[in-house]
Amino acid sequence: MACWGDVTTKRVLVTGASGFIGRLLVAALLRAGYAVRAAVRRPVSFPNSVDVVIVPDLKNPIDWNPILQGVDIVVHVAGLAHVDQHEVAYGDHDQINWIATLFLANAAKKMGIKHFVYISSVRAQVGPSAAQPVNEQDRPHPTDHYGRSKLAAEWAIQASRIPFTILRPTVVYGPHPKGNIRTLVRLASLPLPLPFRGFNNRRSLLGIDNLIATILFVLNNPATVGETFLVADRLPATLPEIITILREAQGRRPGLVYVPPSLLRLALLLSGHTHFWRRISEGLVVDTSKLESLGWRPAFDTYEGLVAMMRTEDGENAQQ
């Protein structure tokens, strides 16, 4: 069982500490009073109080024992993100997301780590869309190599018998977004009307600040040990709502026009943009009531999060 005493007596190892989530997590842990050891692949600037360790690429064997020495908690963020399969070498998802996690969890168990928090993905639970709201009681059925590798990592953690908490976030947005969110930011920034007014599919999103707050919540809540949780902002949003928020953050009108979705679908399919059509037309809503039943609440709503993200983007662009 994990210990839940004074955080100043706890040292947290954060893997992937230089990444999109890791950097903000390290800062939040420091503010909360934890001692932090940051595992990174190359030298990165952190506050002097952070103990930085360099680790090889997760495709290579790693001796975790000296890295775990003196650590109480592991937050495993590092992994291969969800990218198109043709962009990565065959087997990399398994090697980085599953096998590396297996070795880390087993080493952590042997070293007596008190709590292992794994940042998985909603894609370990379900494919890119779902007709009904998704919850943790649903049988996992990932539909691609990425999702299957994340689910295999979850099973490896559970099999290690280490005290764990698994978080399955939906798509995460924040400063310097990637993937689908980056695509929407670019679309919203175009000085053109967009043909999405007729879309009503809803998707659950997750602000990075809400994800960081969730990690801190589970570190301080023993009821989360041995459990898996879907994580998202409180309310899902439609594509028109997202575009409207992003453009309002720029001081612009929504600029949405109605084009029959069926016509837009035909145009995109004929032009070879099937993947883009799926990104914008399908829905995926997750039910976070399991986490909420323990007292968790997202710190920010989606409107606040997207506005903050867009203003950060605009501010940095203005300085360039």
Percent above pLDDT 90 for the chain: 79
Domain count, the chain: 2
Under 8 Å between Cβ of 171 and 179: yes
Residue 320 confidence (pLDDT) above 50: no
Helix axes 100-110, 145-160, angle to 10 degrees: 10
Residue 201 confidence (pLDDT) above 90: yes
Same-domain status, 239 and 284: yes
Residue 312 confidence (pLDDT) above 60: yes
261 forms beta bridges with none
Task: Assess if residue 228 is contained within a domain.
Answer: no
Task: Assess if residue 297 is contained within a domain.
Answer: yes
Same-domain status, 294 and 156: no
Average model confidence (pLDDT) for the chain?
91
Under 8 Å between Cβ of 268 and 274: yes
Helix axes 208-219, 302-319, angle to 10 degrees: 120
Same-domain status, 37 and 56: yes
Final residue of a domain: which of 169, 195, 218?
169
Same-domain status, 92 and 109: yes
Any residues with CB less than 8 A from the CB of 63 and at least 6 apart, and which? Answer: none
pLDDT tens per residue, range 210-245: 999 999 999 999 999 999 999 999 999 999 999 999
Same-domain status, 272 and 302: yes
Under 8 Å between Cβ of 76 and 15: yes
Q: Look at residue 1 in the predicted model and tell me its pLDDT.
A: 39
Under 8 Å between Cβ of 184 and 205: no
Same-domain status, 164 and 180: no
Final residue of a domain: which of 121, 142, 169?
169
pLDDT tens per residue, range 66-97: 999 999 999 999 998 866 555 566 688 899 99
Task: Assess if residue 212 is contained within a domain.
Answer: no
pLDDT tens per residue, range 7-31: 657 999 999 999 999 999 999 999 9
Same-domain status, 154 and 24: yes
Same-domain status, 124 and 195: no
Same-domain status, 291 and 180: yes
Range scoring the smallest mean pLDDT among 164-173, 186-195, 216-225, 309-318: 309-318
Final residue of a domain: which of 169, 190, 225?
169
Same-domain status, 194 and 316: yes
Inter-residue long-range contacts of 81-89, CB under 8 Å, 24+ positions, other chains counted: 81/178, 81/179, 82/121, 82/123, 82/146, 82/147, 82/179, 83/146, 83/179, 84/275, 85/144, 85/145
Task: Assess if residue 213 is contained within a domain.
Answer: no
Task: Assess if residue 21 is contained within a domain.
Answer: yes
Residue 2 confidence (pLDDT) above 50: no
> Where residue 89 sits, what CATH number does that domain have?
3.40.50.720
Q: Look at residue 139 in the predicted model and tell me its pLDDT.
A: 96
Domain, as residue range, for 66 = 7-169
pTM surpassing 0.75?
yes
Task: Assess if residue 222 is contained within a domain.
Answer: no
Same-domain status, 112 and 240: no
Task: Assess if residue 229 is contained within a domain.
Answer: no
Q: Look at residue 318 in the predicted model and tell me its pLDDT.
A: 47
pLDDT tens per residue, range 138-163: 999 999 999 999 999 999 999 999 99
Task: Assess if residue 312 is contained within a domain.
Answer: yes
Nearest Cα residue to 49 out of 66, 64, 31, 65: 31
Range scoring the smallest mean pLDDT among 49-53, 246-250, 278-282: 278-282
Same-domain status, 113 and 186: no
Determine the Cα–Cα distance for residues 266 and 153; give it in Å rounded to an integer. Answer: 38
Determine the Cα–Cα distance for residues 166 and 145; give it in Å rounded to an integer. Answer: 19
